[in-house]
Amino acid sequence: MTILILEDEEPAARQTVQFLQQAGLCATAPPIVRSVAKALEWLQANPMPDLLFSDIELLDGNVFSLYERFRVTCPIIFTTAYDQFLLPAFRGNGIAYLLKPFTYEQFQEALAKYHLLQGSFAQPAAPALSSEVVRELKEALRLGSQPTYKQRFSVRMRNGLFILQIEDVAYVQADEGVTFAVDAAGTRYPLSGTLTEVERQLNPAHFGRLNRSELVNIAFVEKVEPYFNNRLAVKLRGKNEVILTTSAAQTPEFRRWLEG
């Protein structure tokens, strides 16, 4: 059985290999690719693997850009910290979606689904889904169709707790290990948890990722303009003029998010 792992985080890659070996699927570690560019090179130079474990945010961008450029015909088990990508994942060959950090039991469930559906995957020339695969996808989408997102933050300030409504947050920023919610006036409110943890609590239709350290609320975006090195400059509404920038890697996904 040939397996390919797309993962840019070393601890996550080691865990996937460990779980695969624990499940008895590989005596030696399968190839691990950490970027979209390297993944494209590998797929072009090698036969299609039997199974692909795929993170979504790689070193040089979103992995869906790879699947738009190269037709992957094997099943994919997504391993990621971003639950807002559930629907795009299942539009392709995704059969399972493991949200980090995941356990070995969850890993086994994903493998069990792979073995169950192994004989039902569409052939490359016939991109039709079997009824069993359709049932699995509908069930997965039903479970994730109505997520609950945070409505307010309870922020601990010097004089007590301050209640910050989500609609008043212009952007969220990670700065020197601390995550802050910033309102239109530029006031910063320290939050508990990492930026990724906070992002999971916010509605992805309202908050989009600009780069590794910032999220922005679409309600406060006034103007978006091209910036240096394939980036975008995002001007925000408010008393103080604030301009944020996307990273080059995040720009394509941010464009898609802007279009809704």
What does the pLDDT look like over 132-156, one tens digit per residue? 544 554 554 454 445 578 889 988 8
Rounded to an integer, the average pLDDT of 34-47 is: 95
Which region among 85-99, 108-122, 206-220, 236-250 has the lowest average model confidence (pLDDT)?
Answer: 85-99
Contact yes or no for 97/87 (Cβ under 8 A)? no
CA distance 184 to 179: 17
Which region among 28-37, 146-155, 223-232, 242-251 has the lowest average model confidence (pLDDT)?
Answer: 146-155
**125 phi and psi angles, rounded to 5 deg:** -85, -10
pLDDT tens digits, 168-215? 999 999 998 899 999 988 999 999 889 998 998 899 999 999 999 999
Nearest-10 Cα torsion for 106, 110, 113, 115: -120
- Counting every residue written for the chain, the total comes to 260
Rounded to an integer, the average pLDDT of 86-102 is: 69
Is residue 81 scored above 70 in pLDDT?
A: yes
All domains of the chain, ordered by start, with CATH?
3-143 (3.40.50.2300), 152-258 (2.40.50.1020)
Q: Which pLDDT score, from 0 to 100, does residue 16 have?
A: 95
pLDDT tens digits, 108-124? 999 988 888 876 554 44
Helix (H, G, I), strand (E, B) or coil at 133: helix
CB-based contacts of 145: which residues, under 8 Å, 6+ apart? none
CA-derived radius of gyration, the chain: 20
Secondary structure E strands in the chain = 3-6, 32-33, 51-54, 57-58, 61-62, 76-80, 94-99, 152-157, 160-165, 169-175, 178-183, 188-191, 207-211, 214-217, 221-226, 232-236, 242-245
Q: Which pLDDT score, from 0 to 100, does residue 85 have?
A: 55
Is residue 31 scored above 50 in pLDDT?
A: yes
How far lies 33's CA from each of 24, 74, 86, in Å?
Answer: 21, 16, 22
Q: Which pLDDT score, from 0 to 100, does residue 259 have?
A: 86
Exposed (0-12), middle (13-18) or buried (19+): which is 203, by Cβ within 10 Å?
middle
Higher pLDDT, residue 68 or 183: 183
